[in-house]
Structures are given as structure tokens and as C-alpha cells.
Amino acid sequence: MKDTLEQKIPASCLKVAEFSDKKQYAEATFWERLRVRFHILHCKHCYTYHHKNKELTALIKKHEFKLLSKLEKEDIKAKLSL
Amino acid sequence: MSKLDLQPELWVEKYGDYFFYYTVSKVNDRETAKDIVSETFLAGLKSKANFEGRSSEKTWLSSILNRKIVDYYRKINSNKGKAEVKIDYTSQDQDGSWLEEQVSNSDSAENQMENKELGEAILSCLEHINPKHAEIFKMKTMQDYDNEVICKDMGITSSNLWVIIHRARTALASCLDNSWFKT
């Protein structure tokens, strides 16, 4: 289902979505950032996606997540003998 | 849900982070929280036969976790923490209220959307997506692992990483849309 939906999305939008994702982690290059900026000027869907993406990043950054590390999870699994 | 639906082998991956996060917020200590979470899973394993299937696996484990947190506070309350923790209460008979207060959000472990706790809502939403995608998303977004480390650990390519991140972000945003953003 998801694949079908993704297949219906234009390749240019999928690329921009990837750049938008990279931008959330400050890993987008200058040209990738520029491409997002221009593309969202005329693409409503990507505009919405990019803004939701930014909102999500802000929401996550507001929070300090204390999670178990991989090692700690393995440790617990070992205690449970799983 | 039948007894057969309990999947202890998935507990750590599925609920580990959520329970740990919830417990750290209650006890304020990473090591203690880790111990309480592993004791919870251990107790769950031991009392597997008592699971009647009237609630979900998560709700059942949450109630065990809450009891473990209460036990922890009882223990420190009977030792050196006694003087500090009772500071807000004037008489002995209010012990019960204090204990209740420590686990006041016990419902949130069962019904995270109702108490609007952001962190819990996010982690809970991540439980509903592909476990591998959720793990990769957490490593990248919440634990700041390098792409190279994630790819090596999870056996994926760099371009796969971004596809997975995209799917996880889309699923998470849509899940939060129905809970957090609407509130």
C-alpha cells in the first residue's frame, strides 16, 4: 500500500522529501536546501510535508529522550535469557 | 487477546524504550530505571501463566511496572529517603497519598494519548511502525548515532537509511496528527 502510494508520487517530490528529511538533521547540502526552497514555492504537497517535518523536528528537539542503548537492551535480554 | 499472544521475545524491543523513558521520569535515575524495567520484564515472564488476556500485553506489563515503581519508593521511603520524601506530608496516614502521587500518571502508561505527555506519545507512536524502522529512527533522531554506525549496525545502505527515515517520519507525523497536534 505504502509502496503504491510512493510510486504515485512524482520522483522530483520524493527527492525533495529526502532533502527535507536531510535538512532536519542538518545534513542537506547547499544545493539540496535550495532545491527544497524553490520546489515548495510551487508544490503544495511538498510545502505541507516540509512544514510538518519542521514541526516534528521542533517537537522532538523540545524533548530530551532517555532511551536504552543497544548494549543495555542486550543486557536486559540476557537477564531474561531471551 | 489470548495467552498465546504474549510475545516475551519482543518485549525489550517493543516496550523497552517506552517503559524506560516512563520510569526515568518517575525515579530520576538511569541505572535504577534500567533495573526496574528489567525486573518488570522478569516478573512478567514469571507470571506469564497469570495473564488472562483481558487487557493488552502492554497494559498488563504497565501495571507490573507501576507496582515495581511503588515498591521502589516504599523501599527508599523506609530507608534514608524517609525524611526527604515525606516533607510535604504532615502525618503518617498520608503515606498512601504520597505513594499514589509518585505513580499518579499510571494511566499514562496504559493510555498515553489521554495525558498528553509528548515523549510518551512519540515513543508510543513508534511502537506502531515497523520495529526496524523505529529502531533506526530512534538511533538517528534521538540518540545521534552517525549514519555510518547505523548502516553498519542495521545492515542497510546509506540510501536505504533515508528511505527508512522518511517512512518513519511520515508515519510518526500522521500518528501524532491524531493525538498531539490536534490537542
The partner residue sitting opposite A79, judged by closest CB among B16, B42, B180, is B42
B9 has pLDDT over 70: yes
* Residue-by-residue DSSP string for B31-44: HHHHHHHHHHHHHH
Interface mutation vs chain B, best among A32, A65, A70, A79, most B CBs within 10 Å: A65
Q: Please write the tens of the pLDDT for every residue from B75-126.
A: 888 765 555 554 444 445 544 444 455 455 555 444 444 444 788 888 889 9
Confidence (pLDDT) at B50: 84
Of the pLDDT bands very low, low, confident and very high (cuts 50, 70, 90), residue B1 is: very low
CB B157 within 8 A of CB B151: yes
Q: What percent of chain B has pLDDT over 90?
A: 40
- As a 3-state breakdown, chain A gives helix, strand, coil percent values, each rounded to 5, of 75, 0, 25
Interface mutation vs chain B, best among A76, A77, A79, A82, most B CBs within 10 Å: A76
* Residue-by-residue DSSP string for B61-89: HHHHHHHHHHHHHHHHHHTTTHHHHTTT-
Q: Please write the tens of the pLDDT for every residue from A25-70.
A: 999 999 999 999 999 999 999 999 999 999 999 888 887 788 898 8
Of the pLDDT bands very low, low, confident and very high (cuts 50, 70, 90), residue A7 is: low
Nearest Cα of chain A lies from the Cα of B99 at a distance, in angstroms, of 24
Mean predicted confidence (pLDDT) in B13-36: 91
- Burial classification of residue A38, based on how many CB atoms lie within 10 Å of its CB (0-12 exposed, 13-18 middle, 19 or more buried): exposed
Mean predicted confidence (pLDDT) in B36-50: 92
3-state SS class at B183: coil
CB B168 within 8 A of CB B136: yes
Of the pLDDT bands very low, low, confident and very high (cuts 50, 70, 90), residue B6 is: confident
Residue A57: count other Cβ atoms within 10 Å of its Cβ: 16
CB B2 within 8 A of CB A72: no
B133 has pLDDT over 60: yes
The rounded distance, in Å, linking the Cα atoms of B127 and B132 is 10
What is the ipTM score, two decimals?
Answer: 0.82
Chain B residues whose CB is inside 8 A of the A70 CB are 153
Interface mutation vs chain B, best among A18, A45, A67, most B CBs within 10 Å: A67
Residue ranges of A 14-73 with Cβ closer than 8 A to chain B = 17-18, 21-22, 24-25, 27, 52-53, 55-56, 59-60, 62-63, 65-70, 72-73
The rounded distance, in Å, linking the Cα atoms of B161 and B18 is 23
Residue A54: count other Cβ atoms within 10 Å of its Cβ: 13
**Residues in B lying within 8 Å of A, measured between beta carbons:** 8-9, 11-13, 16-17, 20-21, 24, 30, 33-34, 37-38, 41-42, 45, 118-119, 122-123, 138, 140-143, 147, 153, 162-163, 165-167, 169, 172-173, 176, 180-181
Confidence (pLDDT) at B7: 86
Q: Which three cell numbers stand for residue B114?
A: 489521554
Q: Among all chains, which residue has been given the C-alpha cell 505513594?
A: B99
Any idea how long chain A is?
Answer: 82
**What is the sign of the dihedral through the CA atoms of B21, B25, B26 and B31?**
positive
Of the pLDDT bands very low, low, confident and very high (cuts 50, 70, 90), residue B19 is: very high
Q: Please write the tens of the pLDDT for every residue from B146-181.
A: 999 999 999 999 989 999 999 999 999 989 887 665
B61 has pLDDT over 80: yes
Per the confidence metrics, is the pTM higher than 0.90? Answer: no
3-state SS class at A22: helix
CB B138 within 8 A of CB B109: no
Confidence (pLDDT) at B84: 52
Confidence (pLDDT) at A42: 94
